[in-house]
Amino acid sequence: MSGSLLFDAIIFLAGAIICVSLAKRLGLSSVIGYLMAGVLIGPYVFGFIGEEGEDIMHFAEFGVVVMLFLIGLEIEPKNFWNMRKSILGMGGIQVALTVAFTYLFFAVLGFQWQVALTVGMAVALSSTAIALQTIKEKGLMNTTFGSSAFSILLFQDIIVIFMIGALPLLSNTSEGTDTDAAHGSETLIESLPIGLQTLAIILSVAIIVLAGRYVVVPMLRKVAKTGVRELLIAAAFLIVFGISYLMEFVGLSPALGAFLGGVVLSTSEFKHELESTLEPFKNLLLGLFFMAVGASINFVVIANSPLTIGGILLAIIVIKALVLFITGRIFKLKLDQNVLLTFSLAQVGEFAFVLLSFAFQLNILEQEQMDMMLVVTAVSMSLTPILAVLNERLILPKIGTKESIKRPMDHIAKSQKVILVGFGHFGSTVGRFLRSHGVEATILDFDSNRVDFLRKMGFEVYYGDATRLDLLESAGIAEAKLLICATNKVSVAKAISKIVKEKYPHVELMVRTKNRYDAYELLNRDVHNIYRETLDTSLTLASDALSKLGFRKYTLNRQVQNFIKYDEASLRRLASQPKLDDDYIFKARKELEQQEKLLENDFRRGIVAYDNHWDSEHIKQQLEKSKEA
């Protein structure tokens, strides 16, 4: 039964739903859930899927292919040039130092120099899939840490092309043919003499770039003229599948080909359409990849040499962490941002699977060496989300406190009656409006680089984690009247509301939320001043639309206020109702119907039918009539 495709699909989906849901409930990254699901359903625990982890990995790598295609779409040549210093500088230093230190480590262990160099190149590559997924999930892409991590990962994704091109030069030519035959892997490159293989790789990359510009873009233009959306979806998958197949046929990584194809198409008019088409598939396929990583952990190899593998794994993580920390210090990253960078990229990445397998085919690595490094790679990837959680909960809070002490935290004015948490686009608008009316606020933000920038702009902003009671007390929470939570993270809002309600109930909370479901949670925590960020904007747009259709502006303003009043009342009535049962759906529908009836009655009854205060055209007409009379 385990050989059935439908059975495999059911197991994968069920494992993902159960384990990811459990991980999120525990406050962990979804990546941990996918990895745990892979371990449980894989061949070495319950054995539901696959006899060998490599079989699963071969299919699951398509998630990485799609992800790198989308990353390539985001890399416009102009932006790449603007980021060249961080990409070449941070990425170059990280890769060079990691290769050097890892080479020395394995050389000391007695490995041949070809093996040590190959392993060094593989270890230098971090996991783009795990790192970027976690960064985007936590909303850290626009931080210094996020941009630095992206620069390093991008350099790694590019340099791996040259690493693969250099591997044939390290192979044992006298034994390579027999090894290839034994594994039954015949590619175009393998049929060429060793000296021509590197040249063939470079030519293959050039062909992909030229084909993307002069074949793919014209094809997409013809497809777009048909006006059939599903045809464009098919064309998007054809591009990714086609480039990946060609690269695999040549003997290169399909993921690298997809990345290059994305870069080529990043300047085309179809960039955003391709992104929106493939984005929904990317996350599901990446989840499959993470599950495959978990399933590929060979517990038999670990059981045979636990101390050796554990020692190598620990040494590699320490080497990468040390190099990353040094790189961050060279580029003057703040301590909290540097620690995030260190823990996020200290694993060995998915391209190591490609690099190690290719090295095995070229007879650089022996079977035992490859099995050992594949296990080290998979386990290091599995440990990354766990290390990130430990970093967030145990290390960063202490570093944040130290960092805040170095900054002028002791000089936070306690006389301010308003504390404003979060000073991004939303919070800065609130702060500027308060200040323009003579009301100063004690402003707290957890992004140290944003704090430095805002201070240069003339704002008195303090660095720190507002979910810490000691920081709130140093900010004057005991004497404050209002605490405005303007951050976009509902988890932070909930944590702050819990502290304030328990310790300082006299302080009135005013909290930003994204939607009504977040508002439900906060209302159930006895937080009454809820501000949904999309409500006013959406009503403003609807009001302007009706105004352009001839409705009176003053009438519309009154109706907007009525809509907010009715919707707020409905929000509070539905807050305690479970959101997933049929009773909630029934009550929510009744509330919507009631709101629309009330608004319609207000309009029809004439309460606002003769509101002319803001309608100058109507006043002009009345004046003209009076003159005529």
Fold of 60-381: Na+/H+ antiporter like fold (1.20.1530)
DSSP character string of 455-517: HHTT--EEES-TTSHHHHHHTTTTT-SEEEE--S-HHHHHHHHHHHHHH-TTSEEEEEESSHH
Residue 45 backbone phi and psi in degrees, to 5:
-120, -90
Residue 554 has pLDDT above 80, yes or no: no
Distance CA 80, CA 117 (A): 29
Q: How far is CA 587 from the centre of its chain?
A: 36
* DSSP code, position 189: G
> Residue 366: which H helix or E strand, with range?
none
Whether residue 28 contacts residue 389, with contact meaning beta carbons closer than 8 Å, is answered with yes
241 by Cβ neighbours in 10 Å (0-12 / 13-18 / 19+) ranks as middle
Rg (CA), the chain: 29
Q: Where in the chain is the domain with CATH 3.40.50.720?
A: 409-533
What pLDDT is attached to residue 409? 43
CA separation for the pair 568, 564 (Å, rounded): 6
pTM: 0.55
Mean pLDDT across 85-89 = 84
* Best CA proximity match to 575, nearest among 501, 519, 515, 512: 519
Cβ atoms of residues 324 and 346 within 8 Å = yes
In CATH, 409-533 is 3.40.50.920: no
DSSP string for 219-284? HHHHHHHHT-HHHHHHHHHHHHHHHHHHHHHHTS-HHHHHHHHHHHHTTSTTHHHHHHHHHHHHHH
CATH 1.20.1530.20 intervals, the chain: 60-381
Dump pLDDT digits (tens) for 402-457. Answer: 443 344 443 454 457 888 888 887 888 888 778 777 778 888 887 766 776 776 66
User: What per-residue confidence (pLDDT) applies to 120?
Assistant: 93
| pLDDT tens digits, one per residue of 295-352 | 777 778 888 888 989 999 999 999 999 999 999 999 888 888 888 889 889 988 877 8
In this prediction, residue 104 carries a pLDDT of 95
CA atoms lying within 13 Å on the CB side of residue 301? 21
Does residue 355 or residue 587 have the better pLDDT?
355
Q: What is the band of 101 on the pLDDT scale with cuts at 50, 70, 90?
A: very high
